[in-house]
A and B are shown apart, each in its own frame.
Chain A
């Protein structure tokens, strides 16, 4: 009976498989192929000359903005992921420990999850922006007002004067990314916390553990699988960060050195430099792969049960 119905499975799968063949499997091999073919352009007709080699990688590394993109990506990752994970953990634990107001606070913390990245990125830009000239600000922006500073964070709409520094721009970007990444992590960790058997906390009380000790010795280890999950997805996500930067700084990221690896890839595609784009993508893939493997390896040692 089973052999007779072989074809049935394939029919049910056909739409998915055909689409994946065209847009997933074929591109995967093709892109890897492109990476190692110098001077090949998939848009051109068939009779082009190209040779096998690693020239595309050399080109990518020599491309003026490449190092800046890589640098930004790495900075964003090592700054935002640990901070947002730590904050998410603290917030979820705090949320889990209260009764009154819990529901409403929870809703507030989940809210950024459903935002349009572009729209709220523009709001962040506005909040940090200074409009006018260096000698006479028209407005210093709400963040400067709150903290009593006059920092030119990102200078949109700033006529003349010195540019905002890379540091302040990076700061704004990281704040936005952390803000944006929190709700997902809180959802996951809060869910995990709520499924921890309350009896372990009772047992910890009986065992004379202080609250801090309970947190570090019971809660964190119990959550460790979910913390690992949140960390890995967070790292992968931030290696692929691009939209947030566009949202805050606009489309011309290269001129202010705020571009990221994914941005680099897209720029190269738009320039029809497929070799360089593919090399960039492969480097990103390699970084993510190494990173994931490393986390798995660490996880297998540190993550409990």
Chain B
């Protein structure tokens, strides 16, 4: 978009004079053939400038975008000594893979990993079932008050979740659910947005199919299972992936309700663990944080998401472009 201003105004001038002659209704062109050549040269130059600026701009921001990832990875491979050099190195002198081994040995990692995977899988499965049933009811079944109910549900999307959190915290405390798995799963099983998304998808499936199935004597449930779900599969996959990612990234609620390390999720573990090298720990010195080990832990936590992104990019983008929320 950056255009040489001088060139631009000159061009405008020439076009202007050209126009003048039109309005005087004599159709004599004012651009001569020599003008034409220079015009074409400028045009070419401008094109090249615009292309170059565009690429430079994009590559610059692409660089900024990936730099944190790059820094995370190379930092995770440095020795602590190299990391603490006054001027940081942009590529490790020697690869210290041991950082990863040490990161995996930090207390609570495996427990947090298993917790996270378990919570993610269970909550996604349950959530999908509930979402499908509700979406089907809203899309296909007829009962009194359906549309009003749906409108009420949509309205709840506007309310910030923190408003619910306060009472939910009290509820789960009263239920004695603090420091448990169900507290991470149950309050978040219903997502109005996913119900909405799937309902829209179900609605696109023509009514004729439903009546045909009815004529063939299929029950609602069978129809849902054999026709609706297979047809809406791409959306269901999108929902699954986004829900999984949400579970993997969830932090605040877990931090609030589970202070027992045994029930931590991976993000909570990452933020609340101290990353000290094995040697320091052995010497039981409080020790300084060993940042390469910390970065190795960050890489370990980030990697599954990248893999999911690489394989399911299409579904993620598809889900996102219809959503407004992360996770």
Q: Which residues of A contact B (CB under 8 A)?
A: 2, 5-10, 12-13, 15-17, 19-20, 22-28, 30-32, 34, 42-43, 87, 90-91, 94-95, 97-98, 101, 105, 107-120, 122-124, 126-127, 131-132, 137-142, 145, 157, 179, 182, 184, 187-188, 191, 208, 210-212, 215, 229, 232-233, 236-237, 239-240, 242-243, 246-247, 250-251, 262, 265-266, 269-270, 274, 277-278, 280-282, 284-285, 288-289, 292
Chain B stretch 29-79: residues in CB contact (< 8 A) with chain A:
50-51, 54-55, 57-59, 61-62, 64-66, 68-69, 71-72, 75
Q: Are the C-beta atoms of A9 and B141 separated by less than 8 Å?
A: yes
Q: Are the C-beta atoms of B271 and A251 separated by less than 8 Å?
A: yes
Q: Are the C-beta atoms of B66 and A108 separated by less than 8 Å?
A: yes
| Residues of B with C-beta under 8 A to A94 | 54, 57-58
| Residues of B with C-beta under 8 A to A8 | 137, 141, 143, 220
Q: Are the C-beta atoms of B306 and A114 separated by less than 8 Å?
A: yes
Chain B stretch 268-327: residues in CB contact (< 8 A) with chain A:
270-272, 288-289, 291, 294-295, 297-298, 301-302, 305-306, 308-309, 313, 316-317, 320-321, 324-326
Find B163's partner among A141, A274, A281 (CB 8 Å cutoff). A281
| Residues of A with C-beta under 8 A to B142 | 2, 5, 9
Q: Are the C-beta atoms of A119 and B298 separated by less than 8 Å?
A: yes
* 16 A–B contacts, CB within 8 A, in A order: A16-B133, A20-B153, A24-B190, A107-B313, A110-B317, A118-B270, A120-B68, A127-B68, A139-B83, A141-B88, A142-B90, A157-B289, A184-B326, A266-B162, A281-B160, A282-B163
| Residues of A with C-beta under 8 A to B86 | 137-140
A14→B157 CA distance, assembly (Å): 19
Q: How many residues of B contact A (CB 8 A)?
A: 99
| Residues of A with C-beta under 8 A to B156 | 20, 24-25, 28
For B312, the closest partner residue in chain A by CB is: A114
Q: Are the C-beta atoms of B3 and A87 separated by less than 8 Å?
A: no
For B46, the closest partner residue in chain A by CB is: A211
A95→B55 CA distance, assembly (Å): 9
Find A16's partner among B130, B171, B305 (CB 8 Å cutoff). B130
For B56, the closest partner residue in chain A by CB is: A94
| Residues of B with C-beta under 8 A to A30 | 167
Chain B stretch 164-207: residues in CB contact (< 8 A) with chain A:
164-171, 173-174, 186-187, 189-190, 195
Measured CB to CB, the closest approach of chain A to B263, in angstroms, equals 16
Binds A, one of B20-28, B93-101, B230-238, B247-255: B247-255
Answer whether residue B8 sits at the interface, using C-beta atoms and an 8 A cutoff: yes
A45→B282 CA distance, assembly (Å): 48
| Residues of A with C-beta under 8 A to B55 | 98, 101
| Residues of A with C-beta under 8 A to B215 | none
For B248, the closest partner residue in chain A by CB is: A116
